[in-house]
Chain A
Amino acid sequence: MKKLVLALSLAVAFALSAPAYAHFQMIYSPDSVPKSKKLTLKLVFTHPFEAGHTMDIGKDEKGKIHPPIAFGEMHKGKKKDLLDALKPVTFASLTNNGKAYEANVKLKGMGDHVFYFVPAPYYEGSEDVYIQHCTKVIFNVAGAPTDWDAQVGDPLPVEIIPLDKPYALWTGNVFRGVVTCKGEPVPDAEIEVEYLNHDIEGNTFVKEAKVEAPHDALITMTIKADKNGVFAFGIPRAGWWGFAALGAGGDLKHNGKELSQDAVIWVQALDMK
Chain B
Amino acid sequence: MRKALIFFLICLVSAIFPVPQGFAHTPLCYCEDNGDGTITCEGGFSDGSSGAGVKMKVVDTGGNVLIEGKMDEDSEFTFKKPEGDYTVILDAGPGHEVEVPGSEITE
Give chain A's interface secondary structure class.
Answer: loop
> A220: shortest Cβ distance to chain B, in Å?
35
- Residue from the list A37, A108, A143 in contact with B46, Cβ < 8 A: A143
Of the listed stretches B3-11, B15-23, B24-32, B58-66, chain A binds B24-32
Give chain B's interface secondary structure class.
Answer: strand
Interface membership of B47, Cβ < 8 A: yes
Q: B32 and A144: CB pair below 8 A? A: no
Within A110-150, the residues touching B (CB, 8 Å) are: 110-111, 141-146
Binary interface encoding of chain B residues 26-69 relative to chain A, with 1 for a CB under 8 A from any of its CBs, else 0: 10111010000000001010111000000000000000000000
- Report the bound CA distance from A110 to B44 in whole Å: 9
Q: B48 and A142: CB pair below 8 A? A: no
Q: How many A-B residue pairs have CB under 8 A?
A: 28
Excluding A142-B29, A143-B26, A146-B48, 4 further A-B contacts by CB distance (< 8 Å) are A109-B42, A110-B28, A110-B42, A143-B28
Interface membership of B14, Cβ < 8 A: no
Contacts of B103 on A, CB cut-off 8 Å? none
Total residues of chain B contacting the partner, CB 8 A: 11
Q: A145 and B48: CB pair below 8 A? A: yes
Give the interface residue-count category, chain A.
10 to 19
Interface residues of B (CB under 8 A from A): 26, 28-30, 32, 42, 44, 46-48, 106
3 closest cross-chain pairs (CB), A and B: A110-B30, A142-B30, A110-B42
Binary interface encoding of chain A residues 80-114 relative to chain B, with 1 for a CB under 8 A from any of its CBs, else 0: 00000000000000000000000000001111000
- Residue from the list A37, A108, A109, A142 in contact with B28, Cβ < 8 A: A142
Contacts of A108 on B, CB cut-off 8 Å? 32
Contacts of A111 on B, CB cut-off 8 Å? 42
The chain B residue sitting closest to A145, CB to CB, is B48
